[in-house]
Structure formats: structure tokens, C-alpha cells
Amino acid sequence: MIIQPVILAGGSGTRLWPLSRDNFPKPFLNIVGSNSLFQETIIRLETLASNHPIVISNQRHKFLIQEQLNSINKSHSSIILEPIQKNTAPALTLAAIHSLSISKDSLLICLPADHLIENTSDFIASLNKGISKAKDGSIVTFGISPTEPKTGYGYIECSNIEADASELIRFIEKPKKKLALNMVNSGNYLWNSGIFMMRAETWISLISQYSPSILENCELAMENSISEEEVISPDKAYMELCPNISIDYAVMEKINSDINMKFNSWVIPINSGWSDVGTWKEIWNHSNHNKDGNHTLGDIYTEDVTNSILISQSNNLAVIGLSDIAIIQTPDVTLVTPFNQDDKLKKLVASLETQNPEIKKDHNTVKRPWGEYTILEEGSGFQVKKLIINAKSSISLQSHNKRSEHWTVVKGNPLITNESSKIILTENESIYIPKNAKHRIENPNEGIVVIIEVQVGDYIEEDDIIRYEDQYNRTSED
């Protein structure tokens, strides 16, 4: 039997906006420690006797995942890129189908990519306990002893909460405050960690019984997928037909309420310093504090401020007379919120989809496979960017129908293609790129290239692009 970790890295982390954005979400942030939560999830599995993990994420995070894996020198079994997010049940189904194509005897360990685990050895010991249960065809989930009646978590009722492995009685998803309080006080419930373990064939059997449309469409999506160097892109048309549903709702709640179903499901407690670090208060709880109880990052100046988290990625930030508050300042957004307003923050971020989708989707600095760009200034008919092109990298050979560009080199010696001509520029040299001209920046050297780009035109959005050649195999739609 092979032990196959499956890392679910598709979460959006809206309650950590504005640091977490659609195109750079919570799993990939360095919010606690020097590595991202995704990287720590990968590193955590080093001592588990298992295959390299299958990573499931969104199509737009392909290069972000590869970059973060490369930076910690870690490998993956495969990366499955969902063309559209459909929650955890379809994601696990894709992983199970792929794992069975590798080995008919595989056991899946399904792990969210955005959790904090303080004691890795205890965590791995809990996983090993689960493996012995899951080998016989059972489903194993992992529970956390609740410290307060949180309504944002699911709960698991256990037959014996003190046992190393307890029979699972039922799931209760995100209860009201009174019910949550009653469950915590009863001592028979654990928080649902979202970590599951089962044989791949067990999951396929259960999803076939309780949500057959997920299995049917995931199988067709994988049959019609595009694969390239262990990166699998399931077919979008079939994935769009999948229900948007979690593992809990699709299967777990049903197997424990189905009187005709005799199925073993177990809960193993995790006592390893777990947190989903899903709110600013949780980030504060797991951060270092100064003498006033504040966690600060950036140029912060305070007077009579206590027990708060204060982050500035751009300007100086001065705060007076506040407590239990999060102030998060990025180059394009400043958030001020009390710690206990997480649901309202989630609603605010959802409203940005219609009010200002750009600040929901991207930071001012946007990662690209070749490096990154930062928007320095923009207005009617123009935009100014700073481009950083990594060593041995290049942008695609491309053109724009509605804008011209002017590039000034401030660092490095890029090779510039402008229609049929090629030229090497040095620092403080410039070049003009007309509308519709095929152009490219290449950095054949070891150091980075930095260019200031001025765009001028009637339309300056990122979708005004035609790609002709691209070393990362992107299309004009990517």
C-alpha cells in the first residue's frame, strides 16, 4: 500500500484580506514564520513514510505553487489545477482518481494547505494512528479539543473523547452560538480539523453512492485533461457540471445518518498546537508581542495601543488609543477592524466583487512566472509599472492592440525584441514599443533586470494581450 498525501491549496482566506487576495491567497502567505503555510504543510510531511504529495489548487496558482516548492527544494507527485473551484469533495475525487491510476492500493491523507501545526512529531504520530484504522476501509477524521464555542468551525460528536481513536457519531457544521456552547460544555465534541484519511477506493465508492454526479464529471474531466510534466489540468466543461460541495456535506454527514449504511468512521484527536489561523485574532494569538501585547510589522508608531496586530507594507502607520484591533496597510488598501468582526469582514470582501474587484483579486505587486510587476501610478489612459525579470527568464513574445509602452532600464542588461529588431539595453537606456508591435523582454543573465514601464492608451487592462511564444506555455487567456 502507498500512503498518498493530498494537499488542498485552493482556499481563498477572505477573512485575512487585504493580505490574502484571490491571486495570492492565504495558503501562500508568510503570515506566521519565514515560510508560507503551504510550504510548512509540505515540510511537515518529511518524516511521514509516504509518496510525494499530490497538490490540488486553482489554475491561476500554478506558477506560485511551483515557485514555492522550488524555494524549499521539495518535490511533488503531481499538481492538479482546477479550472474552476468546486470545493473539497470534487477536489478529493480528482486526487483519488489520479492516485488510483498510479496504484490500485493507495491510502489518501487529505490535508488543508493553510493550517498551523506547532508540534510536528505529535501530528505525525496522530496520522500514523489513523493509517492503521484507514487501511481496513474505514474513514478517519481528526478532531481538535475546543477551547471556546466557535461558530465558524464544524464539530464532531465522538463516542469516547478520551480514547486514542473514537467512533464518529455525527458532524455538525458551523452551529449557532447556543448550540456551540452546549457542545463544548458537554465534553463529547471536537472541532473538525478538515483532515481526512481513507483508501482511494473507499472514497470513490462513497462519492459514487452519495454524490454520483461528482464522480461522473470528475472522471470525464480527468479523461479529457491536459497533462504536462506532472501538471494535470482537468477539463473545464465537465468540472463546471460538478456540484460545489464540501467533503463534510457530500459524504461525511450522510454516512453517519444513513441507517442502511454500516460503515466504520473514526475520530483521532490532535494535540499538536493546531490552528487554522483563519482570522486576524488567530494570527495575533500565534505571533510574538511587544510589552503592550501588540504584534507589529513595518514602520509602526503607537500611543496607548494594546493587544492589537498592526502591519504596514507601505507608509508609516501611527495609531492612538485602541485595543483588540487589526490595522493592515498594504500599498493599495488599509483595513481597520476589531478582532470580533470576522463575519462582517467576509461580507465586505464579497461586496468588492462588484464594487472594486481589482483590490479583491490582486495586490499592487503581482507575481508572474518570470518575476513580478508593481503598479506605481495609474490614471485615465496611462499606467506606470516597475517590472522585475528574474535571472534566465523572459516575458512572452506579445503585442497589445490598445496601448503603447515605453521601457526604461534601471538595473541589468535585458535583451529586447521590438518587431524584427533585437537590442541589448543597459541602465538608463530606453525604448518605445508601439501599439501592435511584437515585443519581448529577456533576461539571459544571472542577476535580475528592473524596468520602469509606462503604458499609454485607451485601454490598459491585462487582458489586452496576444501571446505568440511563451516559455511557460501560457495562452492569451492566462
Q: By the 8 A CB rule, do 38 and 9 touch?
A: yes
d(CA 265, CA 127): 15
* Residue 101 shares a structural domain with residue 127: yes
- For residue 343, give its domain range: 280-359
The DSSP letter of residue 283 is H
pLDDT score at 252? 85
Query: Of the residues 226, 257, 275, which one is the last residue of a structural domain?
Result: 275
Question: What DSSP assignment string belongs to 217-256?
Answer: HHHHHHHT-EEETTEEE--HHHHHTS----HIIIIIHHHT
Q: What is the pLDDT of residues 81-133, one digit of tens each?
A: 999 999 999 999 999 999 999 999 999 999 999 999 999 999 999 999 999 88
What is the residue whose three cell numbers read 506560485?
64
d(CA 159, CA 188): 7
Query: Of the residues 344, 359, 374, which one is the last residue of a structural domain?
Result: 359
Average pLDDT over residues 332-341: 94
- pTM for the whole structure: 0.88
Return all residues near 293 (Cβ < 8 A) that are at least 6 apart: 306, 307, 308
* Residue 397 shares a structural domain with residue 420: yes
Confidence of residue 165 (pLDDT cuts 50, 70, 90): confident
SS3 readout for 403-471: EEEEEEEEECCCEEEECCEEEECCCCCEEEECCCCCEEEEECCCCCEEEEEEEEECCCCCCCCEEEECC
Average pLDDT over residues 182-196: 90
* Residue 216 shares a structural domain with residue 319: no
* Residue 56 shares a structural domain with residue 175: yes
pLDDT score at 477? 61
Average pLDDT over residues 444-463: 94
Least Cα distance to 305 among 286, 280, 328, 325 occurs for: 325
d(CA 302, CA 292): 10
* Residue 265 shares a structural domain with residue 308: no
* Residue 245 shares a structural domain with residue 287: no
With a cut of 70, say whether residue 262 has pLDDT above it.
no
pLDDT score at 37? 95
Confidence of residue 12 (pLDDT cuts 50, 70, 90): confident
Q: Which three cell numbers stand for residue 140?
A: 478517519
Q: What is the pLDDT of residues 281-329, one digit of tens each?
A: 999 999 999 999 999 999 999 999 999 999 999 899 999 999 999 999 9
Q: By the 8 A CB rule, do 13 and 25 touch?
A: yes
* Residue 231 shares a structural domain with residue 330: no
Mean pLDDT, the chain, integer: 91
pLDDT score at 324? 97
Least Cα distance to 395 among 446, 459, 438 occurs for: 438
Where helices occur in 73-157 by DSSP H, the ranges are 88-102, 120-134
Q: How many domains does the chain have?
A: 3
Average pLDDT over residues 388-396: 95
Q: Could you give the 3-state DSSP secondary structure of residue 262?
A: coil
Query: Of the residues 244, 275, 306, which one is the last residue of a structural domain?
Result: 275
Apex CA 348: angle with CA 346 and CA 354, to 5°?
120
Q: Could you give the 3-state DSSP secondary structure of residue 270?
A: strand
pLDDT score at 202? 94
